[in-house]
Structure 1
Amino acid sequence: MKILVTGTAGFIGYHLAKKLLERGDEVVGVDNINDYYDVNLKYARLAELGIHKNEVKDNKLLGSTTYPKHQFIKVNLDDSETINKLFESEKFDAVCNLAAQAGVRYSLENPHAYIQSNVVGFLNILEACRNYGVKNLCYASSSSVYGLNKSQPFKTSDHTDHPISLYAATKKSNEMMAHTYAHLYNISCTGLRFFTVYGEMGRPDMAPMLFADAIFNDRPIKVFNHGNMSRDFTYIGDIVDGIVKVIDNPAKPSDKFDANNPDSSISNAPYRIYNIGNNSPVQLLDFIKTLEIAIGKEAVQNFMDMQDGDVVSTYADVSDLINDFGYKPDTSLEVGIERFVKWYREFYGVKND
């Protein structure tokens, strides 16, 4: 299968591309390599895929030195002309759109970046799928779409009409845009609501990396809402396994859809929404303790008030994944954190005490 994966310099996109290449798929990767966080980490991910920094040029399709079936192009998704040319020349069997302007809190500071990348960019992907005959699309949504909903665990059938950040609003808009294209053009569209992904090569703006960096460098960590928070931490390997199952099984119209009482996660069009989470929320202070044990060092904790745009807890109902694929993320926090800390030490050259 020939698959376009957008966001391959990013955390999830890198791991997905590697998984697909290792099983023999042909992968074309796309990323704009923006400076939202350290581009050296992004280039390090690309290097693992055989794409080297000194060869990367805007709008230039490069071959991998490691994987014969991998190519990469640096381009913004809002560049519709280049995106269309890529679809026309490469003739993809499937597309997985993971590229996005990430981060809940950054959306309070730079809202326009989210509209350009997450809305305009996603529209260009949808249009390219329509115009060049791609009938299999999956894309990243987010657990943040649940917003003010306090009914847990979060079910895909829950209403998601009360986002509390622009980031969440753009992800909700992606789901609605995808349904429109599934309905009008019979494109199989599957949205994936990811829950607090962590692991090797993780994003530096997320808690695991922020905390590890602070602990290793003897800086205090910020503990928001005075520690009264929980997250459904999900290991990157489990996320990728879930994405692969979705790519291999495009969405189909559901005979359970009732237009008089609509469930927003299914449709009479080829459209589906899934949660991918560990289905086992962890208290923030317990997460910190697990990280301390893996590192072998205690954290200095600064307790702070809640941040704007944040939620107290997340908890994924994954019954849809189980029913449709017989799959449930199951990597324990202890195992995932141990792998993450091992990678962190090696990548950043931190010696064991």
Structure 2
Amino acid sequence: MPTAFITGITGQDGSYLTELLLAEGYEVHGAVRRTSSLERSRLAHLYTDPAVYNQRLFLHYADLDDPTTLRRVLTTVAPREVYHLAGQSHVGLSFEIPETTCEFTAMGTLRLLEIMRDLPEPPRFFHATSSEIFGRPADVPQTEQTPMAPVNPYGCAKAFATQMVRIYREAHGLFAVNGILYNHESPRRGENFVTRKICRAAAAIKAGRQQKLSLGDTSARRDWGHARDYVRGMWLALRHETPGDYVFATGRLHSVQDVLENAFASVDLDWTSYVETDPHLMRPAEPMQLVGDASKARAVLGWVPEIAFTDLIREMTLAELQALA
């Protein structure tokens, strides 16, 4: 039975990846912070299943700022694959807590690389990096060769971690992969992300529990995909015979307004009647043309996104409506 270790296992991507790996016959180990409440997490359906938890799914208390616990877990578990998904991943929040963002997102990755470098049999390593490393790119769409030029603390921290992964791959021979992930959403997305905020508001307004929705710039555009598609790309990248970097993206831009239209249409409402602009929600240094070219992932890994943008937003909105009901 192949063994995998996941940091950030209780997050959106971590929970979907856990389900995928379990379905593929893996034994899955995950790092959880001591403050995590597993009963209310995205893993609750697995955590409460006695046929899965402590049988094929094992959780370990460990933090990215505590290399001793990470080293102990990795030495004991000896996983064949490590998926590094943890870190402070909210772009807007990174302006408020830049030091914390860099400590966990940048230095946390370096600590993991150093630990794996010392292991007798280093596992294959996947690092979930971000399109935010490109900042305001001159090239549209972006590829694995697009220069890194981040414009926010989160992107800067990810750029550092991305380059360190490349260095450890080339200088120390680790099987280390950067997955350059463009925005990917799902019903498990954090509530402070704009897609979840919009879908949640549309459902709440439909249910009569909310009257208005305040947003920043609705013309901002992103390359949005579904998290289930992207975790499949992570798994395929570590199954390939050689390590490398891959862009995972849909190659299509959609605006926040597109999210609004689709979310409110999913519950038969006109978004223009309920949305107001709040200048305080405008984000500084907003990158406007982040759209990825996933040709390499398609050619090398056979990866293609399968879930359409409209289906994604509809799924998220109806999930919110069901939760309210």
> TM-score, normalising length from structure 2?
0.89
Q: What amino acid does structure 2 have at the position aligned with 1:339?
A: E
Q: State the 1:200 CA deviation.
A: 2.1
Aligned to 1:312: 288
1:250–1:127 CA distance, 2 compared to 1 (3 A): farther
Counterpart secondary structure, 1:275? strand
Instruction: Structure 2: state its 5+ residue gaps.
Output: none
Question: Retained in 2: the 8 A contact 1:10–1:45?
Answer: yes
Are 2:21 and 1:20 equivalent residues in the alignment?
Answer: yes
Which among 147, 157, 162 is matched to residue 145 of structure 2? 157
Deviations along 1:157-186, one digit per CA (max 9) or x if unpaired, are 1111x2111100111011111112112221
Question: Retained in 2: the 8 A contact 1:135–1:186?
Answer: no
Question: Retained in 1: the 8 A contact 2:184–2:227?
Answer: yes
Rounded to whole Å, the distance in 2 between the matches of 1:126 and 1:64 is 33
Are 2:131 and 1:143 equivalent residues in the alignment?
Answer: yes
1:164–1:191 CA distance, 2 compared to 1 (3 A): same
Question: Retained in 1: the 8 A contact 2:106–2:160?
Answer: yes
Q: What amino acid does structure 2 have at the position aligned with 1:338?
A: R
Which among 287, 290, 302 is matched to residue 276 of structure 2? 302
Listed as ranges, the matches of 1:108-257 within 5 Å are 108-132=95-119, 133-160=121-148, 162-215=149-202, 216=204, 217-225=209-217, 227-249=218-240, 251-252=242-243
1:117–1:211 CA distance, 2 compared to 1 (3 A): same
Which among 78, 85, 100 is matched to residue 98 of structure 1? 85
Q: State the 1:197 CA deviation.
A: 1.1
Question: Retained in 1: the 8 A contact 2:196–2:316?
Answer: no
1:41–1:149 CA distance, 2 compared to 1 (3 A): farther
Q: State the 1:40 CA deviation.
A: 6.2
Rounded to whole Å, the distance in 2 between the matches of 1:123 and 1:137 is 12
Counterpart secondary structure, 1:192? strand
Which among 259, 262, 265 is matched to residue 287 of structure 1? 259
Question: Retained in 1: the 8 A contact 2:136–2:288?
Answer: no
Counterpart secondary structure, 2:41? helix
Aligned to 2:246: 274
Question: Retained in 1: the 8 A contact 2:38–2:47?
Answer: no
Instruction: Structure 1: state its 5+ residue gaps.
Output: 53-62, 253-271
Q: State the 1:336 CA deviation.
A: 1.6
Q: State the 1:223 CA deviation.
A: 3.7
Q: State the 1:67 CA deviation.
A: 6.7
Question: Retained in 2: the 8 A contact 1:231–1:282?
Answer: yes
Rounded to whole Å, the distance in 2 between the matches of 1:236 and 1:33 is 25
Q: What amino acid does structure 1 have at the position aligned with 2:122?
A: V
Counterpart secondary structure, 2:126? strand
1:307–1:173 CA distance, 2 compared to 1 (3 A): same
Listed as ranges, the matches of 1:60-75 within 5 Å are 65-66=52-53, 68-75=55-62
Aligned to 2:33: 32
Counterpart secondary structure, 1:9? coil
Q: State the 1:214 CA deviation.
A: 2.4
Counterpart secondary structure, 2:179? strand
1:41–1:72 CA distance, 2 compared to 1 (3 A): closer
Rounded to whole Å, the distance in 1 between the matches of 2:54 and 2:173 is 33
Rounded to whole Å, the distance in 1 between the matches of 2:277 and 2:212 is 10
> TM-score, normalising length from structure 1?
0.83
Q: Aligned pairs, how many?
A: 314
Deviations along 1:190-223, one digit per CA (max 9) or x if unpaired, are 1111111111211111112111222314243344
Rounded to whole Å, the distance in 1 between the matches of 2:142 and 2:211 is 34
Q: What amino acid does structure 1 have at the position aligned with 2:258?
A: D
Q: What amino acid does structure 1 have at the position aligned with 2:20?
A: K
Q: What amino acid does structure 1 have at the position aligned with 2:242?
A: A
Rounded to whole Å, the distance in 2 between the matches of 1:243 and 1:343 is 25
Are 2:11 and 1:10 equivalent residues in the alignment?
Answer: yes
Listed as ranges, the matches of 1:337-348 within 5 Å are 337-346=313-322, 348=323
Rounded to whole Å, the distance in 1 between the matches of 2:321 and 2:60 is 30
Question: Retained in 2: the 8 A contact 1:3–1:25?
Answer: yes
Rounded to whole Å, the distance in 2 between the matches of 1:42 and 1:151 is 44
Rounded to whole Å, the distance in 1 between the matches of 2:225 and 2:31 is 24
Deviations along 1:239-283, one digit per CA (max 9) or x if unpaired, are 11111111212534xxxxxxxxxxxxxxxxxxx221111111113
Question: Retained in 2: the 8 A contact 1:9–1:42?
Answer: no
Rounded to whole Å, the distance in 2 between the matches of 1:33 and 1:82 is 12
Rounded to whole Å, the distance in 2 between the matches of 1:204 and 1:193 is 23
Rounded to whole Å, the distance in 2 between the matches of 1:153 and 1:291 is 26
